[in-house]
Structures are given as C-alpha cells and as structure tokens.
Amino acid sequence: MNGSLWEWQFVWEALPILLLAFVKVTLVVTLLGSAIAAVLGLLIAVARRSAPGPIAAVITFIVNFIRMTPIVVQLLFVYYAFTGVPPVTLGIIVFGIHYATYMAEVYRAGIDAVPVGQWEATTALSMSRRRTWMAVIVPQALRSTIPSLGNYVIAMFKDTPFLLAITVVEMVRAAQLFGAATFRYTEAFTLAGIIFLIASYPTSLLIGRLEKRLAYK
C-alpha cells in the first residue's frame, strides 16, 4: 500500500485535519487581516491626501518601506521582536498592515476618481471636511475600489502559508505535519491546494459580480 503514489485512504484521513486548520487559522487570519487592512488602508489613503505635507511624507515613506520588503521578513522580524505575543496574533497584524499599504493605493485611486465637481459641491454647501469624506468622497470611492480590494483579500489568503515561517499551524503546515507523521505528502499537499482553489475561485467570481452590481446604473 505504501508503494503507490496516491492512496485515497490518506486523503480522507487528512481532510478533517486540514479543514480544521483551514477554518481555525487560514480563514481567521484572512478575515481579521483583511478587516485591519481595509480600515487601515483607508485611513492611510485619507491621511496622505489631507494631512499636512511633512506628516503625509512620513506616511508615504513608511508605506513604501513596508511594500518594498518581503512579508516573510516582516513576519520573522516581529516574531523575534515580540516574543511574548502569540504568533497567530502577530500574523494577523503583519498581514493587516502589509496589505493595508497595498489597499491604500487602491483607495487612493478610488478617491482620485471622484470628480472634482463633487468636492466643489461640498464646498458650495459648506460641508465639513469630516462630513465631506464620510458622506460623499468615501462612499463614491468605495464603489470603484471594492473589486480590487477583493483581489487583495484573495492574495492575502494565498499568502497565509508564509505563517509557517513563524510556527503557526495553518493549513499547509498542517499538511506538512500530516505528511511527516504518515509519510504521505502527496495527498496532503494536493488536498491543501484543492481547498485553496475551492475557496478562492468562487470568491473571485463573487467579486466580479459585485463589480457589475456596484456600477452606477
């Protein structure tokens, strides 16, 4: 039985283990990381546009620094810098901040796409800066950004295996451990890939449909 390349028995054995790791770690990190990235990214985009020059320049520098360094380096850095914090928490924060810098660019493009006449109308109506952002600019910017943000969520989802660098047992690490215990790596990694595919593909279709629905009729 150990001689063949593929044994279904190990697929059924690995499935519950991988699904559990998927739900408990991969999905949780992706959802919480995305939430942090979406909110922080918007704050970065708004701050870069409305903060005084020097502050905006500092934010731009930090954003570029984060974007220009690999996420694995960032994960390893915080793992050794903050030893008391659970690695999965660090992972969520690092993914959140890392992807916030990318989402900030998406928001920036969305904000820039709001016609200048909209800003002028808010001035003509004496609207406050805060209200202008919250009631007019952000809602309009979001429409054009949601599909691109969704694509970054999928990208983050596929990046979660990097967490194995900091000892987090997400789905791929669980597959590796399963393989180490049973000497059946092929089934475990294939299954992990298929679970990623099954989760990503419908999500990308959903984003495509959302894009169509959000266009102003």
Q: Is position 165 an interface residue for other proteins (rule: CB under 8 A)?
A: no
Q: Of 23, 5, 2, 4, which is closest to residue 189 (Cα–Cα)?
A: 5
Look at the block and give the residue holding tokens 């660090």. Answer: 90
Rounded to a whole number of angstroms, the minimum distance from the CB of residue 104 to other proteins is 21
Rounded to a whole number of angstroms, the minimum distance from the CB of residue 165 to other proteins is 42
Q: Is position 113 an interface residue for other proteins (rule: CB under 8 A)?
A: no
Q: Which stretch binds other proteins (CB under 8 A): 114-122, 145-153, 171-179, 190-198?
A: 114-122
Q: Is position 140 an interface residue for other proteins (rule: CB under 8 A)?
A: yes
Which listed residue (2, 3, 212, 217) binds other proteins by CB under 8 A? 217
Q: Which residues of 165-203 are buried (b: 16+ CB within 10 A; e: fewer)?
A: bbebbbbbbbbbebbeebebeebbbebbeebbeebeeee
Q: Is position 52 an interface residue for other proteins (rule: CB under 8 A)?
A: no
Q: Do 28 and 16 touch, CB atoms closer than 8 A?
A: no
Which listed residue (28, 136, 146, 207) binds other proteins by CB under 8 A? 136
Q: Is position 143 an interface residue for other proteins (rule: CB under 8 A)?
A: yes
Q: Is position 212 an interface residue for other proteins (rule: CB under 8 A)?
A: no
Rounded to a whole number of angstroms, the minimum distance from the CB of residue 213 to other proteins is 14
Q: Residue 43 and residue 150: Cα distance in Å, rounded?
A: 18
Q: Smaller CB distance to other proteins: residue 15 or 127?
A: 127
Q: Residue 195 and residue 157: Cα distance in Å, rounded?
A: 12
Which listed residue (62, 125, 155, 197) binds other proteins by CB under 8 A? 125
Rounded to a whole number of angstroms, the minimum distance from the CB of residue 188 to other proteins is 48
Rounded to a whole number of angstroms, the minimum distance from the CB of residue 46 to other proteins is 17
Q: Residue 56 and residue 46: Cα distance in Å, rounded?
A: 10
Angle at 200 between CA 172 and CA 153, to 5 degrees: 90
Which listed residue (70, 86, 139, 202) binds other proteins by CB under 8 A? 139
- List of residues contacting other proteins (CB under 8 A): 115, 117-118, 120-121, 123-128, 131, 135-136, 139-140, 143, 216-217
